[in-house]
Structure 1
Amino acid sequence: MPGTSAARGELEEFLAVAISPELLELALTHRSYSYENGGTGHNERLEFLGDSILGQAVTVMLYRNNPNLDEGDLAKRRASLVSSVALAEVARTIDLGRHLRLGRGEELTGGRDKSSILADTVEAIIGAAYLDAGGDAATDLVLRLIAPLLQDPERFGAAMDPKTSLQELASRQGKGLPRYEVSDSGPDHSKRFHAIVSLGGENIAEGDGTSKKQAEMAAALEAWTTLSSATV
């Protein structure tokens, strides 16, 4: 069940952005809930908007704060900060999962902790902030949300090349080479890719993206994060 009104108040206080209750509710509504409730609104349009705001805010911040980095390094850092794994990590720190409006199918399959759903919801909230509070407030929200990621250089390094980092970590742990299985869905002009990474025949992480490479990288970073946490 979605969070109580008190819990929702805690979320609004953390976000510190003036988003109307109706728009915030929309941002928290997954398409699975919409499909099971007569086609009510869901957050995919807000997610589309928020993705653009997120990318611009992170790009400008990296450009200004790293005058000595070339285009390639800036692009890698941006990719690591806006990845579904990074955004899902942000979402978990604020317990965003308990506020989601999900359909029964997603509820039963652990949708409240799926990285792809959490990441998409973060983007939808950013989009909602832009609509109700304006560009400056939305940018400030983005920078507050990603600030903890910038303080973790080890993880940041792995995010720059997650497939290599995962392979090296798995080798050190004696788990063998990662294997990737990728599927796609949607029309040709707007395909989505889903990757599953396994070690020793066991599926350990999943990732989504708009290309096969992006999905594999998201899955690899999720797997790297899981394996690293297990050794702490």
Structure 2
Amino acid sequence: MKLSAELSAFSKRLGYSFQTPELLIRAVTHSSIVSPHRDDNQRLEFLGDRVLGLVMAEALLAADPSAPEGLLAPRYNALVRREACADVARQIDLGAVLKLGRSEMKSGGRRKEALLADAMEAVIAAIYQDGGFDAARAAILKLWGARINNVADDARDAKTALQEWAQARGEVPPQYIEVARTGPDHQPVFTIEVRLASGPSEQATAGSKRHAEQAAASALLKKVDQ
């Protein structure tokens, strides 16, 4: 089986040439389009998550041989979490080649963070099954690139850091409020306000509640740490 022109171009962006093209086709096939003659990418996603985790654990140990587990764990989480996988997927325009059912296409599935992250993990598994662990490691290290060396010493997400800041001062957890929601149903934009019981607050706007909450928490952390 030969890859389509779109998937061949994607393979070049990915930096890996498949000996078994069917693996890549399965990796980009979402469950919304499955049929008796077509497998989706869920099982590959499960495997790819584990391959990515092992590669990142190895890379972090090599990058900082003296780092204790307390620093390695948040760095690891920052590199393998959904947002990081989705960012890498956008970097290689994975969304453009996803095979989606009609309902997912109408709802903006090619831009959905969860779909992009899952498909990225599935692609990693496809490389692993096609070329082995060394091939998967090389692809991951190339795609994640400077993210590995530049990951913050304290890579906890902003919401966690803000909650710990509040708890350390005897405050109740921060409150997150949806101030506004605009845009079409398939591509909403959220404005979220985060408030501390002691008074300070900040707002942020993003294409998902999660991103807006994180951005608001990050802004508030900067304010209270001044």
1:24 aligns with 2:16: no
1:128 aligns with 2:126: yes
Match of 1:58? 56
Structure 1, unmatched stretches of 5+, are 168-175, 181-196, 208-218
Match of 1:49? 47
Change (3 A) 1:65 1:48: same
Find the aligned partners of 2:63 and 2:154 in 1 and give their Cα distance.
20
1:224 aligns with 2:215: yes
Is this contact kept in 2: 1:27–1:46, CA < 8 A?
Answer: yes
Secondary structure of the equivalent of 1:160?
A: coil
Structure 2, unmatched stretches of 5+, are 164-173, 179-189, 195-203, 220-226
Find the aligned partners of 2:70 and 2:208 in 1 and give their Cα distance.
26
Match of 1:161? 157
Match of 1:15? 14
Change (3 A) 1:143 1:107: same
Is this contact kept in 1: 2:71–2:153, CA < 8 A?
Answer: no
Letter in 2 for 1:50: G
Find the aligned partners of 1:117 and 1:166 in 2 and give their Cα distance.
28
Find the aligned partners of 1:14 and 1:166 in 2 and give their Cα distance.
38
Find the aligned partners of 1:115 and 1:145 in 2 and give their Cα distance.
17
Find the aligned partners of 1:9 and 1:52 in 2 and give their Cα distance.
26
Find the aligned partners of 1:132 and 1:48 in 2 and give their Cα distance.
16
Match of 2:137? 139
Match of 2:187? none
Secondary structure of the equivalent of 2:145?
A: helix
CA deviation digits over 1:182-213, x for unaligned, max 9? xxxxxxxxxxxxxxx86149984548xxxxxx
* Max Rg structure: 2
The count of aligned residue pairs is 185
Is this contact kept in 1: 2:60–2:148, CA < 8 A?
Answer: no
Is this contact kept in 1: 2:26–2:41, CA < 8 A?
Answer: yes
Higher helix fraction (1 or 2): 1
Percent of aligned pairs with the same residue? 38
Normalised by the length of structure 1, the TM-score is 0.68
- CA RMSD, aligned part only? 3.2
Find the aligned partners of 2:61 and 2:88 in 1 and give their Cα distance.
22
Find the aligned partners of 1:200 and 1:50 in 2 and give their Cα distance.
35
Find the aligned partners of 1:93 and 1:113 in 2 and give their Cα distance.
12
Normalised by the length of structure 2, the TM-score is 0.70
Find the aligned partners of 2:150 and 2:46 in 1 and give their Cα distance.
28
Matches within 5 A, 1:61-80: 61-80=59-78
Find the aligned partners of 2:84 and 2:215 in 1 and give their Cα distance.
12
Is this contact kept in 2: 1:28–1:100, CA < 8 A?
Answer: yes
Letter in 1 for 2:54: Q
